[in-house]
């Protein structure tokens, strides 16, 4: 009997040890569960932080887009202000010439630089007196002569229907009767022709017999010989019509880089505007 009781005690002791072990396992499991819970909390905190960071990044990106828009608006505003200032400066500078052909101060400065061809003239101011404008005064070439004849120092400017702009300056007078067309020759360094589109000056070569040809039924006519007509204007079927035969072989008004370059390679042209100014230098 005692032997049986001893066996039971051994069994109970073994069971108690197992219980103790189980309690230890349970305790360890609880600790692990606690750690897992803590880890889960940490992960959730990280997710929240990541979410906040993501929101901040989105906000920063949106803010950067707004900043870029503001920069674009500022650039557009600055450009508009600059254009307005340039336009105002041009308007003031161009107010000295009543022209529908010259639109930029650079074009006027380009012409004035050549008009003031010597040291005396460089110190003087120029006044532009509008003598004739085709759209204002009509396209009858006799009207041109009525308004422009017997006046020294005239600047003629042409604008074609194709948008080409060119002209010439002579100190000689446009003057003729119906029966006596006349050739005239400017002195050295005075007469010149020009292209506003090419920003190019063509100086008259005084070795030729004439610089202009005054004909009663024609307008401005810059001419040396039949083969060296820089350009002329007349009236044809109710329209102003023009012609140039000046090419790379001609030398009376300087050098052309290509044939008929003032008129974009074409001999003939129609005129949308013709203006003639008297050039007056201040004393």
Going residue by residue through the chain (283 aa), what tens digit of pLDDT does each one get?
A: 556 677 777 777 777 777 777 777 778 788 888 787 887 788 777 777 777 777 877 878 887 887 788 788 778 766 766 665 555 555 556 788 999 999 899 999 999 999 999 998 999 999 999 999 999 999 989 899 999 999 999 999 999 999 999 999 999 999 987 678 899 999 999 999 999 999 999 999 999 999 999 998 899 999 998 788 999 999 887 779 999 999 999 989 989 999 999 999 999 999 999 999 999 998 7
Cα–Cα distances (Å) from 53 to 43, 49, 59, 67, 91, in that order, read 15, 6, 10, 20, 56
The bridge status of strand 268-281 relative to strand 239-243 is antiparallel
Q: Say if residue 200 is in the same domain as residue 133.
A: yes
- Give the domain extent around 227: 100-281
* Cα gap 218→133, rounded to integer Å: 15
Query: Largest Cα–Cα distance in the chain?
Result: 169
Q: Say if residue 90 is in the same domain as residue 109.
A: no
Q: Say if residue 192 is in the same domain as residue 68.
A: no
Q: Say if residue 148 is in the same domain as residue 275.
A: yes
Q: Say if residue 88 is in the same domain as residue 108.
A: no
Q: Say if residue 115 is in the same domain as residue 253.
A: yes
Q: Provide the domain count of the chain.
A: 2
* pTM reported for the whole predicted model: 0.69
* Cα gap 217→235, rounded to integer Å: 8
Q: Say if residue 189 is in the same domain as residue 170.
A: yes
């Amino acid at each position: 009997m005692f032997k049986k009781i001893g066996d039971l005690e051994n069994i109970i002791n073994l069971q108690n040890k197992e219980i103790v072990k189980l309690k230890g396992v349970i305790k360890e499991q609880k600790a692990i569960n606690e750690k897992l819970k803590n880890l889960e909390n940490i992960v959730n905190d990280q997710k929240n932080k990541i979410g906040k960071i993501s929101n901040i990044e989105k906000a920063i990106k949106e803010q950067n887009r707004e900043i870029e828009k503001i920069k674009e608006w500022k650039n557009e505003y600055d450009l508009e202000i600059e254009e307005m200032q340039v336009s105002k400066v041009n308007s003031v500078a161009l107010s000295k010439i009543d022209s529908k052909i010259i639109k930029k101060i650079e074009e006027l400065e380009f012409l004035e630089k050549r008009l003031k061809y010597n040291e005396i003239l460089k110190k003087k101011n120029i006044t532009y007196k509008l003598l004739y404008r085709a759209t204002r005064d009509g396209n009858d070439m006799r009207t041109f002569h009525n308004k422009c004849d017997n006046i020294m120092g005239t600047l003629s400017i042409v604008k074609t229907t194709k948008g080409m702009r060119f002209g010439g300056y002579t100190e000689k007078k446009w003057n003729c009767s119906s029966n006596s067309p006349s050739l005239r020759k400017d002195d050295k360094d005075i007469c010149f022709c020009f292209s506003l589109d090419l920003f190019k000056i063509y100086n008259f070569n005084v070795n030729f017999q004439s610089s202009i040809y005054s004909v009663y039924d024609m307008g401005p006519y810059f001419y040396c010989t039949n083969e060296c007509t820089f350009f002329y204007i007349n009236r044809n079927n109710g329209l102003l019509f023009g012609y140039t035969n000046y090419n790379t072989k001609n030398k009376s008004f300087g050098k052309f880089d290509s044939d008929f370059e003032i008129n974009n390679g074409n001999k003939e042209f129609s005129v949308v505007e013709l203006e003639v100014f008297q050039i007056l230098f201040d004393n």
